[in-house]
């Protein structure tokens, strides 16, 4: 495979300082609870509010600050996300009373977790779309207590009004003005103001990600995510301007984001490079996007579609776009199996999934798509098995279990089977 534009190699980071810093924050929250949270709110965001939970009055005030057309846009996006989440839920069926042998009944139930926290980042942009992507599938799954948290706008005591509105439209039950590693610790271990949850989902910076990693086990998480990424498979039939725009949409996330094109047409690859440079001149976020593209943008020339597909499956990108001739589209899609979310054809922009088409934008990065998909309604559900059997079935299976257990040297296991036989024979 030939490289038309090379990216900088990601060096292995020494994360020891980050691990210790986050570990200290978690321990502080465990030991000092709300006092630690209030201290960090002041230290990191200049926030002096004493009550961390957002009141209904604050939510209503946020609606008044957001233009009506923006509220309607959020509701339209929410409707698509909710419809898809409900459709996903309907595909997950309970298995009732399956019988592998006479008298034995097995099955499974689909049970939502009792509670979850949706972490919605603040930072440079109000990522209110993330509130929809996390809260709506949690509600569609049937989670009884759906909470959310987000950092305040720096120097204030308030979460961004659009984020609050989106959280409310998503149906979130409790909202808290706290962010960072300390928020993950609070929802994992609990404080006086914040009851702990069973599951934490959502993206965040390196501190949030490391906190999720360290708290995993005490609480469930979706996955550990890194910088955003998109990979585009394209042939000479694709539109270079459209592909360039999709690359820059990813690049503006942050300076670590990665955009990759794998093409079978060298002239197209060069055209994409030129189109990116031209569009950067008009992009308001070019300071971030240009750095990301310069350092981590990559354009590769594959010998054929088969090689491009093999590269994509090996890379396992967060977002994968297929922009090839319609005659090649179906076979290309069928051959792809490692990606967070797939976008098929030139009409299907990755940003449509980011906001409003209905699929979820909280997706695995850094190759995690090799073993997991993104957040979906199933993220909030447990598949729990059950079994029952009548006396005849017990008498039939107990000798087998006794023999297997004694073969492992677990005599207590064997006796648990044997005692039932003995009592049944009396």
Q: Looking at the annotation, which residues are catalytic?
A: 318-319
CA 388 – CA 351 distance, rounded (Å): 49
> In this structure, how many other beta carbons lie within 10 angstroms of the beta carbon of residue 126?
20
- CA 57 to chain CA mean position, Å: 30
The phi, psi pair for 323, rounded to 5°, reads -130, 75
Do 364 and 372 meet the contact criterion of CB atoms below 8 Å apart?
yes
**91, two tokens:** 């595909």
- Name the residue among 318, 256, 244, 317 with its Cα closest to residue 288: 256
State the DSSP code for 203. Answer: -
CA 261 – CA 239 distance, rounded (Å): 12
- Name the residue among 226, 409, 389 with its Cα closest to residue 318: 226
* 3-class state of residue 176 by DSSP: strand
**118: buried, middle or exposed (CB in 10 Å: 19+, 13-18, 0-12)?**
buried
Which residue blocks in 110-220 are alpha helix, DSSP H? 128-141, 161-170, 180-189, 206-215
3-state secondary structure 32-78: HCHHHHHHHHHHHHCCCCCCCECCHHHHHHHHHHCCHHHHHHHHHHH
The phi, psi pair for 95, rounded to 5°, reads -105, 115
**16: buried, middle or exposed (CB in 10 Å: 19+, 13-18, 0-12)?**
exposed
- Name the residue among 174, 77, 159, 79 with its Cα closest to residue 121: 159
**172: buried, middle or exposed (CB in 10 Å: 19+, 13-18, 0-12)?**
buried
- Name the residue among 128, 120, 117 with its Cα closest to residue 78: 128
CA 349 – CA 230 distance, rounded (Å): 11
* 3-class state of residue 320 by DSSP: strand
């Amino acid at each position: 495979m030939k490289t038309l534009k090379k990216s900088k190699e990601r060096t292995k980071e020494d994360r020891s300082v980050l691990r210790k810093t986050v570990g200290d924050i978690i321990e502080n929250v465990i030991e000092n609870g709300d006092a630690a949270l209030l201290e960090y709110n002041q230290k990191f965001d200049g926030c002096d509010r004493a009550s961390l939970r957002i009141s209904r009055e604050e939510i209503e005030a946020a609606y008044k600050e957001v233009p009506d057309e923006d509220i309607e846009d959020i509701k339209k996006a929410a409707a698509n996300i909710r419809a898809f989440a409900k459709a996903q839920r309907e595909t997950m069926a309970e298995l009732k009373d399956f019988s592998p042998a006479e008298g034995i009944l097995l099955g499974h139930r689909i049970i939502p977790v009792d509670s979850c926290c949706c972490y919605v980042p603040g930072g440079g942009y109000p990522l209110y779309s993330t509130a929809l992507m996390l809260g709506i599938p949690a509600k569609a799954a049937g989670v009884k207590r759906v909470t959310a948290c987000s950092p305040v706008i720096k120097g204030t005591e308030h979460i961004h009004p659009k984020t609050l509105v989106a959280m409310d439209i998503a149906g979130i039950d409790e909202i808290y003005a706290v962010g960072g590693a300390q928020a993950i610790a609070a929802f994992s271990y609990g404080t006086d103001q914040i009851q702990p949850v069973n599951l934490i989902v959502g993206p965040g910076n390196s501190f949030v990600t490391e906190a999720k990693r360290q708290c995993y086990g005490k609480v469930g998480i979706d996955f550990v995510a890194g910088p955003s990424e998109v990979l585009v498979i394209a042939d000479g039939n694709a539109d270079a301007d459209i592909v360039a725009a999709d690359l820059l949409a990813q690049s503006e996330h942050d300076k670590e984001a990665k955009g990759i094109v794998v093409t079978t047409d060298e002239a197209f690859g060069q055209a994409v490079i030129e189109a990116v440079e031209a569009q950067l001149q008009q992009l308001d976020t070019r300071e971030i996007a240009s750095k990301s593209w310069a350092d981590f943008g990559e354009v590769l020339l594959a010998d054929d579609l088969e090689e491009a597909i093999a590269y994509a499956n090996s890379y396992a990108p967060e977002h994968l776009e297929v922009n090839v001739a319609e005659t090649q589209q179906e076979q290309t899609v069928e051959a792809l199996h490692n990606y967070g979310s797939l976008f098929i054809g030139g009409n299907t922009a990755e940003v449509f999934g980011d906001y409003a088409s209905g699929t979820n934008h909280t997706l695995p990065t850094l190759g995690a798509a090799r073993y997991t998909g993104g957040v979906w309604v199933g993220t909030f559900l447990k598949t729990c098995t059950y079994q029952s059997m009548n006396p005849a079935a017990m008498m039939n299976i107990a000798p087998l279990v006794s023999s297997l257990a004694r073969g492992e040297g677990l005599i207590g296991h064997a006796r648990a089977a044997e005692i039932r036989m003995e009592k049944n024979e009396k």
